[in-house]
Chain A
Amino acid sequence: MAILEEPIKGIVEVKNYIDGEWVESEGEIQDVVNPVNGEVIARVPISTKEEIDTAVEAAKASFPDWRRTPPVARARCLFRLKELLEANFEELSRVQTQEHGKTIDESRGETRRGIENVEVACGIPTLMQGYNSEDIASGIDEYLIPTPLGIFGIIGPYNFPFMIPLWSAPYAVATGNCVVIKPSSEVPLSQMKIAELVDEAGFPPGVWNVVNGGRTVVNGMLDHPDIEGITFVGSTPIAKDVIYPRCGATGKRVIAQGGASNFMVIMPDCNLRATILALMTSFFGNAGQRCLAGQNVIIVGDDDRFYNEFINGVVDTAKKIVIGNGLDEEVQMGPVRDTEKKKKILSYISSGIEEGAKIILDGRGDFKIKGDYPDTCFLGATIMENVKPEMKIVTEEIFGPTMGIIRVKTLDEAIKICDDNPFHNADAIFTSSGRTAREFKYRVKSGNVGINIGIVAPMAFFPFSGMRDSFFGILHTQGKEAIRFFTESKVVIERWP
């Protein structure tokens, strides 16, 4: 089967999209590298404080008119954007693969998830309705009007360059706000492509802005008095120690989604084949670089026969994963994003071994790459046995294609391990017992809970949840919670004497 054609040819000079114009930055330029082959595919500016200020000014100037635009008219812009995203679905997906390295199935999945958020936001005329009470006292009525706040900053991560900013932006603009998006400077092309379509969809200038860059842009957003709120997805240290407190200090609303170390609890009564395939996606999909990825399996019970059958099945399947260029449709796992990330993953594997874990599948070197590509950013699937809950490979986020195996006797012990972990993003159980599943779902303190699901990714009409060290804030991205986040509740009490 042929490798799909690359949509990005040559080197793209990425610009900022401010006030409906493509603007060159004064900042220094950084290369964007395709992790599959090390080729430079784009150059992205690291924008200056003045440039983020200009974008905020443009958004501020657009806000009064955009806010007055009826929700049905705002929805029409989103409908046009949705149509354009569908029309460009394949190109958008391939761009993600080129800039990130993920497989084409994963990129198409990401595109679909992103578009679904635009679809949900198209329902803004009803989603944004308030409520009222007639005669709260005789002749006096009271009602609530959700109103937009102004300008929001959206800071995206590198692992889902297309989808994650769309967890916020469609809702923000649908509710009448204006946005400034900062994509990850490692993967800026997807947001550039979306902005091109936003332009074509006819959003008024200044409503949707994209400013590329790094720390300066983030600081510029955090400190800017005219930015009402920030949504951020990234690592826990940044979410917890930078974004959340700084937003608090400047009175901004905040959604700060951090990292994870998720558990997949395996009961001996699970459907073995379906569970193993679900775990392949959970642990090794997106090369393990997602906050919903499984990091450790907890096998419950003392049935050695089941344990051995499970381990053999997982190792045999993981061994056969086809690794290579994500644009090759047969490839099941692409590279990790860059060499620094690869080094970090390798250091976690070493730390696991030092702390007593036993490698039963070594993805550090024992893997083949399909096609002629350097192994610079590639890793195979690694599986480690004898993992203990206190090891670093459990208590910290690895963000790579690794699976740790923990064995316990009871479901109670499994739930305790889940609950004692500092992160609480997504945990799942695999079982054929409804009673066991209910017990797990009821007790586990996790933001997203899976039952026979390896990637507990909420649909666009549900909030992307998360708890403890995985989430800082109150309301979440996506769906009704996003509508609530991007609006203020204005209460009117009315009397006509």
Chain B
Amino acid sequence: MQLNTSASVISFAKQLEADSASFYDKMAERYPKAAELFLAISKENSKYTMMIQRAYYGVITDAIEGCFAFSVKTDKYTFEKEPGKELDYTDALKQAIDIEEKLISFYTDAAEQSKAFMADVPRTFLIVAKKRKAREDKLRMLLKET
């Protein structure tokens, strides 16, 4: 599916954040040794959602290209909401890293597409991408420790 409007991209971002949060909630249930970290990560997602919504509702006006600012192909960024049932901890971590890579790529691509049009929205997307990069690094450290 291709998304062009700001409204649809913001809803898609919200969905990705919710899906990713539910992934980490399951990780916390399944791997109690890192539950605290996974729950904290899941909680962070709602903060990102809030940041993105605030940026969008704060900047959207009739004068900017809200309906034409994006060209997002959603298939590239979707992922499983749960860690694979057969996966051990190491592979589940790899799946989490893969999700983070997809989300970083979504936020970076969407920011690039809309940078001339949506003011604070691409800036917020880049902030979220940066925070997710830090999260990805943390997950890679965990993976190394296994």
Interface residues of A (CB under 8 A from B): 1, 89, 103-106, 108-110, 112-113, 160, 163, 271, 274, 277-278, 280-281, 285-286, 290, 292, 317, 322, 329-333, 453-457
Contacts and interface: CB of A to CB of B under 8 A. Distances in A.
The 9 closest A-B pairs by CB, nearest first: A105-B66, A457-B63, A329-B7, A109-B62, A329-B8, A332-B67, A455-B63, A109-B61, A281-B65
B108 interface: no
B66 A281 contact: yes
Contact of A454 (B11, B57, B65): B65
A373 to B, nearest CB: 18
A109 B6 CA distance: 11
Interface in B33-84: 57-69
Contacts of A292: 63
A457 B6 CA distance: 19
Scoring B7, B58, B59, B67 by chain A CB atoms within 10 A of each residue's CB, the highest score goes to B67
A112 B8 contact: no
Contacts of B4: 322, 330, 332
A285 B68 CA distance: 9
A457 B116 contact: no
B89 interface: no
B74 to A, nearest CB: 9
A484 to B, nearest CB: 24
Contacts of A330: 3-5, 8
Given A106-B67, A109-B64, A330-B5, 13 more contacts: A1-B1, A105-B60, A105-B67, A106-B62, A106-B66, A109-B63, A112-B58, A160-B62, A278-B117, A281-B66, A329-B8, A330-B3, A330-B4
A106 B68 CA distance: 11
Contact of A112 (B12, B61, B67, B69): B61
A292 B63 CA distance: 9
A147 B20 CA distance: 57
Contact of A329 (B11, B60, B62, B68): B11
Contacts of B66: 103, 105-106, 108-109, 281
B62 A457 contact: yes
B8 A290 contact: no
A277 B69 CA distance: 7
B109 to A, nearest CB: 15
A113 B61 contact: yes
Most chain B beta carbons < 10 A, residue from A112, A274, A280:
A112
A285 B3 CA distance: 17
